[in-house]
Amino acid sequence: MHKFEQSDLLQRLPEQFFAKLAGRVQRLAAEGHDIINLGQGNPDLPTPPHIIEELQHAAENPKFHKYSPFTGYPFLKEAVAEFYKREYDVDVDPNTEVAVLFGAKTGLVEISQCLLNPGDTALLPDPGYPDYMSGIALSGAKTDLMPLRAENGFLPDYSEKSEAALDRAKLLFLNYPNNPTAGTADAAFFEETVRTAEKHNICVVHDFAYGSIGFDGEKPRSFLQTPGAKDVGVEMYTLSKTYNMAGWRVGFAVGNPSVIQSLELIQDHMYVSLFGAIQKAAATALTSDQTPVRELAATYERRRNTFISALREIGWDVPAPKGTFFSWLPVPKGYGTSEEFANLLIDRAHVVTAPGVGFGEYGEGYLRAGLLADEDRMLEAVERIDKLKLFG
């Protein structure tokens, strides 16, 4: 069988760090071990019934059996504008400031291909969501990393970058509430971001995937609530986390019209838009009763409280996340790297977490654990870890 070589473009793609971890987990599961997997970011609860019913009803409509408009149905863009006005008091023009996406991940990869040329530079958070790197690699561009440190609330410090480095940067990726650190951003940070972007002509991409998941009574801020935000960038939102619609692959970008136009142009060449019935269900999700959204956030907060309290009781000094459905756990002293400690938990407790180094150099020293199992299962995970007697 002849083997055809991959293109240089494919070979530029970053290695999938977590593929090795998945293989280890699969081997243990195949041996019959009961694995508690807190290492993934896959929502564990079902989509609310009224959204499913809308899909079922819309799927019967012959109108949606044809090609959808390449830029998405106007009713979905109007629903996005209604959502932003209701939730954040932000005015959005559905015709020029909204792009429908095949999940936010697609947009986060595409935007680098839209705005970066070979040799250009993008500013990236470290640690951060690995797929930001994918789009940059596909563009032949370079990364300039911004460390996220606990002492700065896991926010980048723009003053660490030289004026020349900021002038070189074309794109700036941000993500709050943050994956993997669970940090949050306030109005002052976003205002500083807008000032920095304006001064240095940088396009800001705010990944707002966890926009609905804030704790302790704090509602996460939209970047677009910041004066001038639409002048300098876009925000990308997914229905995956807010409405447990991860498998539906639907999201949107909102903000700067020139960037929205570029996203729609690349998608015009690559796709023929989303199945209309999914767009109809997405519009229903955004504009209908939001009680399930609040209940879901409350579920994650209960899980957080249960998990963090139990870990502290066994002697693991861990911070409580402020948002997202992740916790960011410091590796205890004396247990090596994040990968070594994660492997210890997999092999000896059959509890899976994600090593922080998989998200970047500054993720070393941490594990990411998802709040994506019920409370009993999370307590069982802590009991298994306690039996290892790691904390004296």
Confidence of residue 155 (pLDDT cuts 50, 70, 90): very high
Amino acid code (one letter) for 245: M
Cβ proximity of 201 and 195 under 8 Å:
no
Segment 52-56 shows an average pLDDT of: 97
Segment 292-306 shows an average pLDDT of: 96
How much helix, strand and coil, in percent to the nearest 5, is found in the chain? 50, 15, 40
The confidence score (pLDDT) of residue 378 equals 95
Cβ proximity of 108 and 266 under 8 Å:
no
Segment 265-277 shows an average pLDDT of: 90
Segment 11-37 shows an average pLDDT of: 84
- CA angle 267/236/215 to nearest 5° reads 155
Segment 81-110 shows an average pLDDT of: 96
The confidence score (pLDDT) of residue 102 equals 92
Flag whether pLDDT at 13 surpasses 90.
no
Lowest average pLDDT, out of 31-40, 92-101, 321-330, goes to 31-40
The confidence score (pLDDT) of residue 20 equals 75
Domains of the chain: 8-46+292-386 (3.90.1150.10), 49-287 (3.40.640.10)
The confidence score (pLDDT) of residue 41 equals 83
The confidence score (pLDDT) of residue 282 equals 97
Cβ proximity of 330 and 318 under 8 Å:
yes
In angstroms, the CA 126 to CA 24 distance is: 25
In angstroms, the CA 226 to CA 187 distance is: 7
The confidence score (pLDDT) of residue 40 equals 85
The confidence score (pLDDT) of residue 29 equals 85
Could you report the per-residue pLDDT of 176-227, keeping only the tens digit for each? 999 999 999 999 999 999 999 999 999 999 999 999 999 999 999 999 999 9
Flag whether pLDDT at 234 surpasses 90.
yes
The confidence score (pLDDT) of residue 2 equals 84
Amino acid code (one letter) for 154: F
The confidence score (pLDDT) of residue 63 equals 95
Neighbours of 94 (CB within 10 A): 18
Mean model confidence pLDDT for the chain: 94
Flag whether pLDDT at 15 surpasses 90.
no
Cβ proximity of 263 and 57 under 8 Å:
no
First to last CA, the chain: 57
Instruction: Answer whether 0.85 is exceeded by the pTM.
Output: yes
